[in-house]
Chain A
Amino acid sequence: MLDAIEVTKQFGAKRALDNVSLSVLPGEIYCLLGANGAGKTTLVNLFLNFLQPTSGTLQIGKLDVVRQPLETKRLLAYIPEQVTLYGVLSGLENLAFFSSLAIGEHLPRQRLLELLEAAGLPRQAADDRVATYSKGMRQKVGIAIALAKNAKALLLDEPTSGLDPSAANEFSELLVKASNDGVTVLTTTHDLFHAKQTGTRIGIMKQGRLVEELRSEEVSHADLEALYLKHMKS
């Protein structure tokens, strides 16, 4: 469903991604690990066509990301590390706008409230201006937007950053539920525990290269940590 084929991305002299190939199947939750600057965000941005690859191709459901940007984005939902919304609008209004943009129709208020609730936003905050929200609250609106889209694939860049542990947990449950429904998930994270817990597959990146891929059921938490540290040190 999500395919990166021999992707290289160069920023001037800096090679952010070096011949990365990766494939995520429907129903999988693929967790990308790696140190700061390893190239995780760059890979996600490439799938979103925010950046164009220097070489290689990226496909979503066999559609080329660069050549069919609008079609591929219909299949995707995305939650960035920092969800940014329109401060002058309420959480509900932001959700209404982005969801209608995503699916091409207005959802009824009741449905919007359900989505916000599912994302964990307190009901009484829904009509407050987003300018008054905390980072975690904005993140939850971002989750609601992704849920509204009912997308076939989820691209998540440290989506739980800023969420409190229980909210992060609830989010993990949402992910598992989605993957059981056949949704493809690619997520970056620094949380090894979370990766092992929710991920079905784990990739470790280092200096723009994918250095390790493994199934999470094949490793224990301790093994994963050891493996990660080994890669980071060498």
Chain B
Amino acid sequence: MKTMQPRPLSTLSLIVLHEARILVRDRTLLLVCCVLTLMVGYGLFVGLAQATLRDRMVAQVLKHEQETQTANSGTLQSVLAGQTALIPFSNPANPAAMAGTLSGRYATMPNAPLAALAIGQSDMMPNYYRITYLSKVQFMYDTEIENPWNLLSGHFDLAFVIVFVLPLLVTTLGYNLLSAEREHGTLRMLCSQPLSIATLMTGKVVVRMLALLAIVIPVPLVVLLLIRPEARGAEQLVLMLSWSALVAAYCLFWFAVAALVNTVGRSSSTNALIMMALWTIFVLILPVTMNLAVGLVSPAPSRTELASRTRVATAESLREYEDLYSADYRYASDPEALLVKNERIEVPSRMRAFFLAKQKVDEQIEPLLKRFDQQLLQQQKLVDRLSLLSPAMLVNEALTSIAGTDSRRFLAFKDQTEAFHKRWRQYFSPRIQESRAMTVRDLSSLPRWHWVEMPASEIRWSIWWRAMLMLALASVLGGLALARSSRGSIE
């Protein structure tokens, strides 16, 4: 009686094949896959367009920098040869003019190789700053400081498709995973065979998940590899792998939710309602609430405070350099003052005052800016911690760090720009004070901007632990669903 027949076919594979056939026959799968393909395609297009735009912006800025440099060295040579006499503002021999807008220097942040995968903060944060001796407040803090979590204002990019749309498609395919079989009556037929509901559900999820993942993972990666050559390195492949793991884990999470709902809920329509409610909570309500919570717990730095402090600091520095400011431009009465003599040039005291005043303002405002940055960092940390509560936030954070469009990278850019800005001033400060004229060699050895990419290991770590956490969450829910399915009646 106890002798069992050999079972050459695994029950799971039978269910998988059967489910695939049913889904193909009744066209659900076709419809869902078409919708997903269209959305993935569009989302990717939006991301690529944004990345291209930013590429172009950087290229233009660098071209401008190059052209200015060539023009400047030409002009300088003719000035030094005594062929041209220029007013101090447009004279490249004048260090104060070069420290200002004349140099055409920029700090730029290139797109990360996988930028097209998520727009993230890249539509709000600049990817270049014009470097002059002006106050940081004038060129770095002139845009609105945003809460680092800003999913909802996002575009219809691939990250949006994954975070928002994919769970809806999972819901479409999974809300009636078991309830449909129960309502239709086939569940009794299935369960009169040596088949556990756990196996049945696993098989159903495997087919549906493979179908979705077969579109959402390879399509973007293949497109990227084809049209963005910088996406082809080994480092990028590892990132793509982590991206795939993340998307798969997020997908699995939603299927686990669907499976769990199917073991709790009764009718298909009830299940659908529960799924919609959960989607709304996880994807809409939690992020918005957390946005508010972050704003409350760690409010964005006050812009009015910054503005008024800047005004005070400016007034103070004006007073301090009053004498210099009030001096007249000598070159109007004495054209000799325009010439370079013994490698020296007269820097008009008003220009010197300007340089010093801006430096002063920055020194004065520095503690406040430090606090600003501290606050932003605080917010970021809070977002990191809170994102553990919402899978949507968790995944979005990781997706943007893979794309290099997360606020962390933009903050790093800001930091590096500040450091460069400081170096820029330090380079010119003695030259302006000592009225040293710029030489042709100086011009080609001005401080150079180098973007230092964030350490890859750090990024990788921040992504993988999120992917693992997502997977753990999905496994717990999935395990719960399977455990529940083995108990209770099927009626």
> Which A residues contact B (CB, under 8 angstroms)?
45, 48-52, 61-63, 69-71, 73-78, 80, 82-86, 88-89, 93, 97-98, 100-106, 142, 145, 152, 155
Contacts and interface: CB of A to CB of B under 8 A. Distances in A.
Contact of B189 (A61, A62, A98): A98
Given A88-B26, A101-B11, A104-B7, 7 more contacts: A51-B491, A71-B194, A73-B192, A84-B188, A85-B186, A89-B22, A101-B193
A154 B22 CA distance: 28
Interface string B63-103: 00000000000000000000000000000000000000000
B6 interface: yes
B18 A97 contact: yes
A75 B194 CA distance: 9
Nearest to A69: B196
Given A61-B1, A88-B22, A102-B193, A97 B14 contact: yes
Given A52-B489, A103-B5, A104-B8, A73 B193 contact: yes
A97 B1 CA distance: 25
A85 B190 CA distance: 10
A84 B192 CA distance: 12
A51 B192 contact: no
Interface of B: 1-2, 4-9, 11, 14-15, 18, 21-22, 25-26, 184-186, 188-196, 488-491
A74 B192 contact: no
Nearest to A76: B192
Contacts of A105: 7-9
A83 B189 contact: yes
A74 B4 contact: yes
A73 B194 contact: yes
Contacts of B6: 104
Given A74-B5, A89-B21, A84 B196 contact: no
Contacts, number: 90
A98 B490 contact: no
B191 to A, nearest CB: 6
Given A83-B189, A84-B185, A84-B186, A152 B18 contact: no
A75 B1 contact: yes
Contacts of B196: 69-70
Nearest to A61: B1
A102 B22 CA distance: 19
A93 B25 CA distance: 12
Contact of B14 (A80, A89, A101, A142): A101
Contacts of B192: 48, 73, 76-78, 80, 155
A130 B20 CA distance: 18
User: Of residues B4, B8, B14, B194, which shows the largest number of chain A Cβ atoms within 10 Å of its Cβ?
Assistant: B194
Contact of B185 (A52, A82, A102): A82
A74 B191 contact: no
A70 B22 contact: no
A45 B187 CA distance: 13
B195 A50 contact: no
Contacts of A70: 194-196
The 6 closest A-B pairs by CB, nearest first: A84-B185, A104-B7, A78-B192, A88-B25, A73-B194, A61-B1
B1 A102 contact: no
Contacts of B15: 101
Contacts of A77: 192
Contacts of B491: 45, 50-51
B194 to A, nearest CB: 4
Nearest to A150: B5
Contacts of A51: 489, 491
Nearest to B4: A74
A152 B190 CA distance: 18
A83 B184 CA distance: 11
Given A82-B185, A89-B21, A101-B14, A48 B5 contact: no
Contacts of A45: 491
Contacts of B18: 97
A89 B25 contact: yes
A76 B193 CA distance: 8
Contacts of A76: 192
A50 B490 contact: yes
B304 to A, nearest CB: 65
Contacts of A145: 189
Contacts of A74: 4-5, 194
A101 B191 CA distance: 10
User: Of residues A50, A51, A75, A93, which shows the largest number of chain B Cβ atoms within 10 Å of its Cβ?
Assistant: A50
Contacts of B2: 61, 63, 71
B22 A86 contact: yes
B195 A101 contact: yes
Contact of A100 (B9, B188, B488): B9
A106 B10 CA distance: 11
B489 A102 contact: no
A23 B270 CA distance: 41
A152 B191 contact: no
Contacts of A69: 196
B294 to A, nearest CB: 48
Contacts of B26: 88
Contacts of A86: 22, 186
A113 B482 CA distance: 36
B486 to A, nearest CB: 8
B311 to A, nearest CB: 74
A51 B191 CA distance: 11
A80 B193 contact: no
A52 B490 CA distance: 10
A70 B2 CA distance: 12
Contacts of B7: 104-105
A54 to B, nearest CB: 12
A102 B194 contact: yes
Contacts of B190: 101
